[in-house]
Each structure stands twice: as C-alpha cells, then as structure tokens.
Amino acid sequence: MPGSGHISRVALHCLWNHPRLRMCVGTRTVIKTSFGTYGSWEMRSWLSLQILPFPWYKPLSLSLALSPRIYREVANFKPDIIHASSPGIMVFGALVIAKLLSVPMVMAYHTHVPMYIPKYTSSWLVTPMWLVIKFLHRAADLTLVMSHALGKEMNAAGASTAEKIRIWQKGVDSDSFHPRFKSQEMHNHLTDGVPDTPLIVHVGRLGAEKNLDFLKKVMRRIPHVRLAFVGDGPFRSNLEQMFQGMNVTFTGMLQGEELSQAYASADIFITPSESETLGFVVLEAMASGVSVVAARAGGIPDIVTQDGETGFLYTPGDLDDCLSKIMALLESSELRQKIGAAGRAEVEKFDWRASTRQVRNEQYSAAIWFWRRRKEQLANRFSGWFNRCPR
C-alpha cells in the first residue's frame, strides 16, 4: 500500500487470543509495545486494569480499559497503530482512544461469538451481537480474520468491505510442538496405564460450543480406544458426567513440555468443533507429527488444505464419515506416520516470525493507508459543504 510510512509504535489492547501473547491471560493487563529488531518485542509498559468477573464464566474477566489514566498513558506513548482483539468489552475502550487520538485502528476478530450464543443463551441474541460486531468493525480501519471462510462471512454480514478484511497468516511454534516430544510415559498416563490401547487426544477449552458431545457417539462405536481430553473449561463437569464409565481420561490444563508430550504421544488428534476461527490446536497437533481428524468447518480447512494427505476432514455431524477416517488411521500405523509426517512438513511453512512480520509490514501499512484515505474523504466532504454555504 502506498504512503504507509514507518511503523515503530503499536498499542496492543490485550490480545487475549494471540498465541504469541498468551502470557497476557490472567495478568489483566493492557500491553503497550513497540517492535524492536526483527524477531524481538520491546515491551514499553504493562498497565494494570480494574476488572469484573464475567457472571456466567468466572475465569473470564471483563474491563473496558477506558479511564483518564489509560488514555494519558496511551497518548504519551504516541502509537502509530492501535491493535485490539474483537469482539469483547475492552475493544470499545480501544476504539474510543483510537478516535480521540486520531490513530489508525486494527481489529483482529478471534472468537466467532454468534456461533457460541445459541450454546450458552437465547438464540435471539445472535442478531444484536451481529449489530455490535458490525458497529465495531465498520469503525476500524482494517479487520484481521483467521480464515477465508470467516472473512467471507464478515463481508456478507456487512461488518466490513472486502478490501478492508485481511487474512492473518497462520503460524505455529514448530520447535515447541515437535515429534521429538513423543513420550511413552505420557502415553501410559493418558491411556491410564494400558499402553497398547489406541489413543485419541483432544486439546482445547472444554466449552459447550466445541461440539464435544459428538465424541460420545464416536466412543460408543469404538469402545476399545482411549480418548483423552487435555484442557479445562466450563463444560468439563458435564463432559465428565456424560463420559462416565467410558474409556476416557481428563487431564485438566497442561502446559510447556507436558502439553507438547500430550500432543506427540497421541495416535490421532481429533476436534469436532465447527466454530473455530482458525484452530491453533490443529496446527499444534500437525506440528507434533500427529494425524488429525477434524470437522470440515470454520477455519480448519484453511489448515488441512489437502484432505487425505496432510490430515482428514469429515462432514460436520456425519458420524459414519468421521469413523471411517478414524478407523483407516487406527488400522494402519503406516498411514498414521505418512499423514503425520505430511502434516508436519505442511506447518513447517508457517513460522511465527513470518506471520508477525506480515502483520507489521503489510497489514498495519494497509490500515494506515485506509485511515489516511478516510481522513481525506471526510476533509473533502467538509470542504465541499463549506464551499456551498452562502457567504
């Protein structure tokens, strides 16, 4: 994009879902940062916020991130871009500050809330939620989405124009998630001490929107297989009751090397979610050299682009289709190795530094260009109106 200029200072309004900034979760902070040399982040400051717990999901905290103190800090920082995660409460504060400071605004759409609403509350709230999303993203200078499917949906809904919707290039830490972390000890743990049992692993937040009850139908058909849920969430107690007496393990949250081992020690990774904006767990499983079986929905087809070669996709809700993919893998260790190796080779192309560099150099530059164009258009309108006024 022409006329982008040099971008050196970026205000990040709590990118809760950005894997490179997962350290933010639980710290209740707004981050202000500037990019230093390539491959490094120079943190300028961390701002503590007043928070309120979300009544229906205690681990989630809410903050508007809008106060005279926050405004002064961001104003003194003099950002070139304000980058906010959407949707949420904090993004409203980010938008107000961006408009007051006349700074370009980038919104990254991470969580497709309209898909979640029917799982947690009344379906009639979907329409008001779309109105909120459209209000926010029409006010932004650029919208980043995680997949082509989501970009098309946002455009069709009128949340933004096609030219202002860009794909955030996927990335994965292929060193932290690697086949070398395969561990017999972890395999024994996940199979409850029966190492010869085939092991299917699911990693992720245990929420109602993840469609995890579908896996009960799967397990009824293959009771000899062990299923391990790695992660935690508001739906865990429901799942524990649902799978009671079945060949299922719940590990709770795993982090660091334990999480890497859980991925790499699986025979198959499965995710039945139909609401993923991208599906980072799929990227991490592929990086771990594990064969993936996933629903052909949301952003996952943007990751498993070669169905049957780098992973398997099944028709959402089609139990027989899903089972046919699982059984093909369970019956052939050679096929599992082949799919796992191809998946690993595919995600090795997606380096986090390249992804971050694309956002900084291309997407931020585009946002600045659109922001300048909008300012010029507004100035021309006012100039035309002023010239038409009688003197």
Q: Where are the domains of the chain?
A: 10-171+352-388, 179-347
* Fold match, 10-171+352-388 / 179-347: yes
Q: How many percent of the chain have pLDDT more than 70?
A: 82
pLDDT at residue 228, rounded to an integer: 97
d(CA 245, CA 321): 25
Top pLDDT among 391 and 274 is at 274
191-247 pLDDT, tens per residue? Answer: 999 989 999 999 999 998 899 999 999 999 999 999 999 999 989 999 999 999 999
Average pLDDT, stretch 288-310? 94
pLDDT at residue 29, rounded to an integer: 33
pLDDT at residue 90, rounded to an integer: 85
Q: Are 347 and 289 in contact (CB under 8 A)?
A: no
Average pLDDT, stretch 152-160? 93
Q: Does residue 53 have a cis bond before it (omega within 30 degrees)? A: no
Q: Are 145 and 112 in contact (CB under 8 A)?
A: no
pTM for the whole structure:
0.78
Q: Does the structure show a pLDDT above 60 at 171?
A: yes
Q: What CATH number was assigned to the domain covering residues 179-347?
A: 3.40.50.2000
Task: Name which of 34-43, 132-141, 244-253 the model is least confident about.
Answer: 34-43
pLDDT band at 40 (very low <50, low <70, confident <90, very high): very low
Q: Does the structure show a pLDDT above 70 at 33?
A: no
Average pLDDT, stretch 139-165? 92
Angle, nearest 10°, between helix axes 126-139 and 90-101?
30
Task: Name which of 43-47, 304-308, 358-362 the model is least confident about.
Answer: 43-47
331-349 pLDDT, tens per residue? Answer: 999 999 999 999 999 998 8
Q: How far apart, in Å, do the first and last CA atoms of the chain sit? A: 40
Fold of the domain built from segment(s) 10-171+352-388:
Rossmann fold (3.40.50)
pLDDT at residue 53, rounded to an integer: 67
Secondary structure (3-state) at 35: strand
d(CA 208, CA 27): 25
